[in-house]
Amino acid sequence: MGIKNWFFEPLVDIFTEITSKEIIIEENQEKSKIILPHYENGKEYNFRPKTFKEYIGQEKIKQILMKYIKGTKKRKLPFPHTLISGKAGMGKTTLAQVIANELNKILVEAITSEIIDIEKLKELIIRCDGNILFLDEIHALPRNIGESMYPIMEDFKYEGFRVKPFTLIGATTELGEILRNRKPLYDRFKIILELEDYTEEEIVKILNQYKEKIFKVEKLCQEVYEIIAKNSRVTPRHAIRLLEATIYFEGNVKEVLRNFNIIKDGYTKKDLEILKYIASNEKGVGLQGIAMFLDTSTINYLYEIEPYLLKNGLIVRTPRGRKITLKGLKKIVELEKCLQ
């Protein structure tokens, strides 16, 4: 047919010309697969929930997703494009994998910082092959590439060719960034989900489940789970990290907290340093100043350190920078007493 189109040539059964004729072209790329638990000598050693039943917490979100899954299956329609927002370590990737499993679909996963040009996007859609494309940190998607997604997401078309219907699931820690600078992309997601904070009780359940899957023969008392939950910043990823450390420290959770510089309720020595530094600068401290003080990147501070301090009302963001609150001043006194 003499058709020359960068988006069309490598595909097989993914794009068809918008005519009555089908065009079939050989495709040599391997399909990605859903990440499944890895076994060695019959033992599972990496565990992610695979069903909504196993996925603890986020009950409202699970209800929404189950209704959509049931409804789209009944009507034989593609599952709608979905945007999941939440802090780092809250389970966004795991939720995307659960959705894929419940739909019996393959999950193709990519981090948007790796999508540097249209060719990379084309490759991902080829691999997706009508299944689920999961883009992590989608707020970082280059604007021009995001704009090229609009007709694909809305009509499954691109430059005059049909795209095999698929589901895009985007995950972000910066929903505000998308609303501010990627609003047209945001508007093309039909399901918008914001992960809610976990409770300590839910974290305890997650820890129990993880321990029974990975460390079945180990014995831990209920108090250990509760201590870990209190010091996990109610974030599953942090909690599991502390649980594994506690297992390897032969159940001595207090020694684990001490070695990881956790003072109390998830607050670390670094948190105390930050609070004292901000308190010493009444006019406010800029983001760059805090990062330089900690000798870390601004990204690390924004995603790993600051959210817990903001959430608990210890600091506030102002036009002049971060400032300490009265609650933050009281927390400094409390934490210093714990170190005495």
Give the DSSP H/E element, type plus range, for residue 155: helix 150-155
Is 241 a catalytic site residue? no
**Of the residues 87, 105, 129, 136, which is catalytic?**
136
Which one of the listed residues 16, 72, 93, 298 is annotated catalytic? 93
Q: Helix 269-279 and helix 326-339: axis angle, to 10°? A: 130
Out of 92, 105, 182, 233, which one is annotated catalytic?
92
Is 143 catalytic? The answer is no
Residue 173 annotated among the catalytic residues of the structure: yes
Task: For residue 162, list its beta bridge partners.
Answer: 16, 157
Q: Is 92 a catalytic residue?
A: yes
Query: Which residues 6+ apart lie within 8 Å of 313 measured at CB?
Result: 325, 327, 328
Asked if 237 is an active-site residue, the reply is yes
Annotated catalytic residue, options 173, 235, 246, 268: 173
| CA–CA dist 175, 159 (Å, integer) | 29
Name which of 252, 257, 255 is nearest 239 in CA terms. 257
End-to-end CA distance of the chain: 80
Q: Which of 162, 188, 213, 237 is catalytic?
A: 237
Of 166, 158, 165, the residue nearest 18 (C-alpha):
158
Residues with active-site annotation: 92-93, 136, 173, 237
